[in-house]
Amino acid sequence: MVNPKIFIEGVNYSYGDSQALRNITLEVPPRSVTVFFGPAGGGKSTLLRLINRLNDMVEDTRMTGRVLLDGKNIYDPGTNVASLRRRVGMVFALPLPLPGTVRENVTYGLKLAGHRNDGKTEEILERSLTRAALWDEIKDRLDSPANALSGGQQQRLCIARSLALEPEVLLLDEPTSGLDPISTRKVEGSLHELKKLYTIIIVPHSIQQAARVADQAAFVLMGDLIEYRPGTEIFTIPSDRRTEDYVTGRFG
Amino acid sequence: MDRNRVQQIGFALLTLSAIAVVAPILIVIGIILVEGARAISWEFFFSMPYDGMKQGGILPAIVGTLILTVGTAVAAIPVGVAGTIYLAEYAKDTWMTRAIRLAIVNLAGIPSIVYGLFGLGMFVLFLHMGTSILAGVLTLAIMTLPVIISTSEEALRAVPMEFRTVIASLGGTRWQAIRYIVLPEALPGIITGIILGLLRAAGETAPILFTVAAFYLPRLPQSPFDQVMALPYHLYVISTQVPGMPFSVQYGTALVLLILVLSMNVAATVLRSYFRRRRQW
């Protein structure tokens, strides 16, 4: 196997007294789509948010274990969390455009990083929107308010906003849960292009979506990693009884 | 009884209640307007009182109230807003911060005379400021702070948490989230809180009674350690302490105070709707 982009090693995580993740170890290969799936409340989002340290915003949590990005532990005391989050972008369940125009939204991360607005900004704007499969639809509306776009467009705008920072990893937390089927297909479609450039980890909003997009998939149940295998196998010939029950719709 | 009948009666009762609420206010404003208008002239606004305040204008009281209000704003706004940002955005939820919040909510409900006595003990006597603008402004600022903080905190908390999360996920700092998103979104609410607090400061008599207000001082203040006259206290004095005071002067003073307070209210409403229109979500 090629060097993993991300190596989660022996991670335990708890909020107060309730343990959210138990001894999770898994490797995420670069430039592919990795899926974390399982029933709600099982720890998928927690696992996802460990990778950009967004869980730091929650009080009263405990963690043991390591998360390596390109072989380096992102939980080392010296880590610059802001620059980590520029390397590991994130898209949330609901499209969350920031107040302002389409243009301002896409370039928000650059502004936060202190980049001057120069000729390159326009280039980044177009490239990010193109990669998020949105450019053709809104290239004439770059200065209209972001919240005037449709829900599906807003979510792709959020993807473009993350891409503008040229991240290496893109985390997607149920990115299509608020979208209609057509918008969902557009977002999923853009993933096939994006994985050529980025390492993508997605928490899907259905098993069907998981099966459609996964290169490899991890079944997370009640804080345990049950099995982690290529997408072509896990959804058709699961090796664990619990995975089989979940995939075939016997629970969840 | 027929349900339409019930509705009619209910509706009539509600209308009557609304009238009962609004009518006294309108009557008071109307009387003050009609009676006070007779006293209003350039001289009334821009000259010193004389003949035991029965003649001349109320310039020192107007200037005094303006100075006290502006001074209170200068003293209370930076501390209030900064304290609110700390409480709402940075402070962890501990027994300390809970105690501070409880204290603030309670302070907002304390009678103003208590602030007056605190100001007398703390600023006038203990800190040797004497009866002065400085002591009055600080007393008014302390009275205003809880109002500013509790309304502003509400406004900050009303900004969806998700915006802060998004900014963090884009590599922004907590301060950047506050500076670029939270504060601009909360601004209308913060301004409302500030104006409400300052309105109270401008109209109160008790807090300035022992700390700054002069009974009769027909000149303008020269330094922060001077006393000043102030509209609410002046109104109290000419209504109860000076025999033979012409009604028109009393109503005129009431009218000026009313205009000042109402125009601040209007300014607040205009500012708030201006900032709200600029908001884009």
Contact list in B for residue A111 (CB cut-off 8 A) is 180
| Mean pLDDT calculated for residue range B256-278 | 85
Please give the model's pTM, rounded to 2 decimal places: 0.83
Half-sphere exposure for A177 (CA within 13 Å, toward CB) = 16
pLDDT at A196: 93
Say which range, A95-99, A113-117, B63-67, B221-225, has the weakest mean pLDDT.
Answer: A113-117
Instruction: State the DSSP H helix or E strand holding residue A229, giving kind and residue range, or none if neither.
Output: strand A224-230
Percent of chain B exceeding pLDDT 70 equals 99
Q: Is A90 in the B-facing interface, judged by CB distances under 8 Å?
A: yes
User: What number of C-beta contacts closer than 8 Å exist between A and B?
Assistant: 66
pLDDT at B63: 93
Joined together, the tokens standing for residue B34 give 């009609």
pLDDT at A252: 60
Q: Is B280 in the A-facing interface, judged by CB distances under 8 Å?
A: yes
Joined together, the tokens standing for residue A204 give 């899907």
Q: What residues make up the domain containing A200?
A: 6-97+169-247
- In sequence order, what are the residues at sequence separation of 6 or more whose Cβ sits closer than 8 angstroms to the Cβ of residue A118? none
Query: Is residue A91 assigned to a domain?
Result: yes
Strand ranges across the sheet with A6-15: A18-28, A6-15, A61-69, A72-73
Average pLDDT, chain A: 91
Q: Is B163 in the A-facing interface, judged by CB distances under 8 Å?
A: yes
Residue-wise pLDDT for A120-165, tens only, equals: 889 999 999 999 889 999 999 999 999 899 888 999 999 999 999 9
Average pLDDT, chain B: 91
Nearest to B167 among A92, A100, A112 (CB): A112
Q: Is A117 in the B-facing interface, judged by CB distances under 8 Å?
A: no
Amino acid at A149: L
Smallest Cα–Cα separation from A46: which of A33, A32, A57? Answer: A57
Query: Is residue A16 assigned to a domain?
Result: yes
Q: Tell me, what's the ipTM?
A: 0.91
Q: How far apart are CA B214 and CA B218, in angstroms?
A: 10
Query: Is residue A220 assigned to a domain?
Result: yes
Residue B280 reports pLDDT greater than 80? no
Longest dimension (CA), chain B: 72
Query: Is residue A103 assigned to a domain?
Result: no
Q: Count the domains in chain A.
A: 1
Q: Is B56 in the A-facing interface, judged by CB distances under 8 Å?
A: no
Nearest to A113 among B93, B169, B171 (CB): B171
Q: Residue B279 — pLDDT band, cuts 50, 70, 90?
A: low
Q: Residue A92 — pLDDT band, cuts 50, 70, 90?
A: very high
Query: Is residue A185 assigned to a domain?
Result: yes
Nearest to B170 among A97, A109, A147 (CB): A109
CATH number attached to the domain at B61-278: 1.10.3720.10
| Mean pLDDT calculated for residue range B100-118 | 92
Half-sphere exposure for B30 (CA within 13 Å, toward CB) = 6
Residue-wise pLDDT for B27-59, tens only, equals: 999 999 999 988 888 888 888 888 888 888 899
The interaxial angle of helices A119-131 and A151-163, nearest 10 deg, is: 130
Query: Is residue A132 assigned to a domain?
Result: no
Could you tell me which chain B residue has the CA closest to the CA of A108? Answer: B170
Q: Is B171 in the A-facing interface, judged by CB distances under 8 Å?
A: yes
Cβ A143 vs Cβ A166: under 8 Å: no
Query: Is residue A225 assigned to a domain?
Result: yes
Q: Residue A250 — pLDDT band, cuts 50, 70, 90?
A: confident
Question: Structural domain boundaries of chain B?
Answer: 61-278
Quick check: helix, strand or coil at residue A244?
helix
Q: Residue A165 and residue B280: Cβ atoms within 8 Å?
A: no
CATH number at residue A222: 3.40.50.300
Query: Is residue A143 assigned to a domain?
Result: no
pLDDT at B281: 47
More confident residue, A173 or A249: A173
Q: Which residue has the tokens 């060097």?
A: A3
